[in-house]
Amino acid sequence: MNIHEYQAKEILSAYGIPVPRGRVALTADQVERAAKEMGGRCVVKAQIHAGGRGKAGGVKLVFHPEEAQNLAKELFGRSLVTPQTGPQGLRVRRILVEEAVEIAREFYLSMTLDRGSSRYILIASAEGGVEIEEVAAKTPEKIHTLSIDPLIGLRPYQARKIALALGLTGSVCEDCVSLILNLHKVLLEKDCSLVEINPLVVTKAGWLMAMDAKITFDDNAVFRHREYPDMMDYSQLDPLEINASKYDLAYIKLDGNIGCMVNGAGLAMATLDVLKECGGEPANFLDVGGGATREKVAEAFKIILQDGDVKGIFVNIFGGIMRCDIIAHGIIEAAAEVKCTLPIVVRMDGSQVEEGKRLLSESGLNVQCGDNLGDAAQRIVQMLKASNGDN
């Protein structure tokens, strides 16, 4: 689960990490008032669930409340496209108005899960404010990492080593040690999978400050924090994803043209791999889980069909807990309801498979059943090629 920069900064601030003075606004008038409060000269920051806003025009220094208001009007009306949003961008619904800070130096600091070592890892660099991936690729020696032992935790001497590696000295170095330890506390106590400050800055007056903040909560721990659901900004999510979560379906948007309905995450991964191997491009994957009902399958099918990129549908279900005839009923019901004419290939196996196949073949839909996963994947790819050729 992602939250906005201003929400992440509220958390950091509660843990004693200095952030610029700011106010979040929902209208252009509020932006103007907030700018006045800051004394006119301030930074206007579009709040979207993506970084790279600065270069995309979503973070700007203004000198007048009126200028802030005009910029806000422009930002509220459009989607912001950054390298992290995809081509359609994300709608701006909230704007953070912040005091303009005189920056002397910018650093990068984050803590995240390293799946390889099953540990949290701290990443820091004196080259902050820019694409950290670029720094890592071109000048890996400028990235400092520290694997955090889950038993010992993060010790002050380790934090100090990082602060020194960033070139900090004296009291700013000690401020940085406290900041790193506090950030680690946020990471653990708030169940985060990522806390990132980019840039962490030293101001011209010599203060350490988090100028940007990104926090991702671990979805599996959201139930432990009652306040998290209220922090969610649904305008930043794909409407199909919201719909899918209502029915407890896992939906992931991808950029191809084959809609995939699968039961189980492992089978989903294998399905995507095999489709790719056959030259197909998945448009999404929708995991209906183990014991889905007929209604759930029908909802899943409808969600896939609402994705405008989908030109064909691939269903790969193993009927263990779920019976194949129930799946067939769900597909037929949903396809009839939304008048689906797209090519469908179904690979089913397990309980009641013959009955499921019979129901599908007698349904009048543009559907084929594959004998096995490889065969079925090839069929949907070929059906799509053939229908492309028709156009």
Identify the helix (H) or strand (E) that includes residue 143: strand 143-148
Q: How far is the CB of 286 from ligand ADP (least distance, A)?
A: 31
- For ligand ADP, give the closer residue by CB, 211 or 268: 211
Closest CA to 236 of 94, 88, 91: 91
- For ligand ADP, give the closer residue by CB, 90 or 244: 90
Residue 130 near residue 139, CB atoms below 8 Å: no
- The answer to whether 101 contacts ligand ADP (rule: CB under 6 A) is yes
Query: Per CB under 5 A, which region of 3-11, 93-101, 191-199, 306-314 contacts Mg ion?
Result: 191-199
Closest CA to 360 of 319, 384, 326, 385: 326
Sheet of strand 312-319, all strands in order from the earlier edge strand to the far edge: 250-253, 282-287, 258-262, 312-319, 344-350, 367-369
Q: Which residues pair with 154 in a beta bridge?
A: none
Question: What is the secondary structure of 300-317 as a DSSP string?
Answer: HHHHHHH-TT--EEEEEE
Query: Per CB under 6 A, which region of 49-57, 112-120, 215-223, 340-348 contacts ligand ADP?
Result: 49-57
Note the helical H segments in the chain.
5-14, 28-37, 65-76, 132-138, 156-165, 170-189, 228-231, 239-246, 265-277, 294-306, 324-337, 353-361, 373-390
Using CB under 6 A, which of 212, 287, 299, 325 touches ligand ADP?
Answer: 212
Using CB under 6 A, which of 12, 35, 38, 59 touches ligand ADP?
Answer: 59
Known catalytic residue at 108: yes
Structure token digits, residue 223: 């139930």
Using CB under 6 A, which of 54, 57, 289, 350 touches ligand ADP?
Answer: 54
Question: What is the secondary structure of 14-36 as a DSSP string?
Answer: HTT-----EEEESSHHHHHHHHH
- The answer to whether 197 contacts ligand ADP (rule: CB under 6 A) is no
Q: How far is the CB of 129 from ligand ADP (least distance, A)?
A: 4
Q: Which of the residues 196, 247, 251, 299 is marked catalytic?
A: 196
- The answer to whether 198 contacts Mg ion (rule: CB under 5 A) is yes
Length of the chain: 391
Structure token digits, residue 32: 């103007």
**DSSP label at residue 40:** S
By rule CB under 6 A, what count of residues binds ligand ADP? Answer: 18
Residue 68 near residue 97, CB atoms below 8 Å: yes
Whole-Å CA distances, 232 to 75, 112, 227, 229: 21, 21, 9, 5
Give the one entry of Mg ion, ligand ADP, none that residue 101 binds, where binding means its C-beta sits below a cut-off of 5 to 8 angstroms depending on kind. ligand ADP
By rule CB under 5 A, what count of residues binds Mg ion? Answer: 2
Using CB under 6 A, which of 146, 211, 360, 380 touches ligand ADP?
Answer: 211
- The answer to whether 20 contacts ligand ADP (rule: CB under 6 A) is yes
What is the torsion angle, in degrees rounded to the nearest 10, for the CA atoms of residue 32, residue 33, residue 34 and residue 35? Answer: 50
- The answer to whether 264 contacts ligand ADP (rule: CB under 6 A) is no
Give the Cα separation of 107 and 86 in Å (integer).
Answer: 26
Using CB under 6 A, which of 9, 53, 105, 311 touches ligand ADP?
Answer: 53
Q: Which of residues 285-344 bind ligand ADP (CB under 6 A)?
A: none
- The answer to whether 212 contacts Mg ion (rule: CB under 5 A) is yes
Asked whether the bond before 199 is cis by omega within 30 degrees of 0, the reply is yes
Binding residues for Mg(2+): 198, 212
Q: Which of the residues 5, 67, 108, 299 is marked catalytic?
A: 108
- The answer to whether 34 contacts ligand ADP (rule: CB under 6 A) is no
Give the one entry of ligand ADP, Mg ion, none that residue 49 binds, where binding means its C-beta sits below a cut-off of 5 to 8 angstroms depending on kind. none
- For Mg ion, give the closer residue by CB, 127 or 212: 212
- The answer to whether 127 contacts Mg ion (rule: CB under 5 A) is no
- The answer to whether 43 contacts ligand ADP (rule: CB under 6 A) is yes
> For the chain, give me the number of helices (H) and strands (E)?
13, 18
Give the one entry of ligand ADP, Mg ion, none that residue 325 binds, where binding means its C-beta sits below a cut-off of 5 to 8 angstroms depending on kind. none
Q: How far is the CB of 97 from ligand ADP (least distance, A)?
A: 9
- The answer to whether 19 contacts ligand ADP (rule: CB under 6 A) is no
Query: Which residues are part of the catalytic machinery?
Result: 108, 196
Residues lying near Mg ion in the complex (CB under 5 A) are found at: 198, 212
Residues lying near ligand ADP in the complex (CB under 6 A) are found at: 20, 43, 45, 51-54, 59, 98, 100-101, 103, 106, 129, 198-199, 211-212
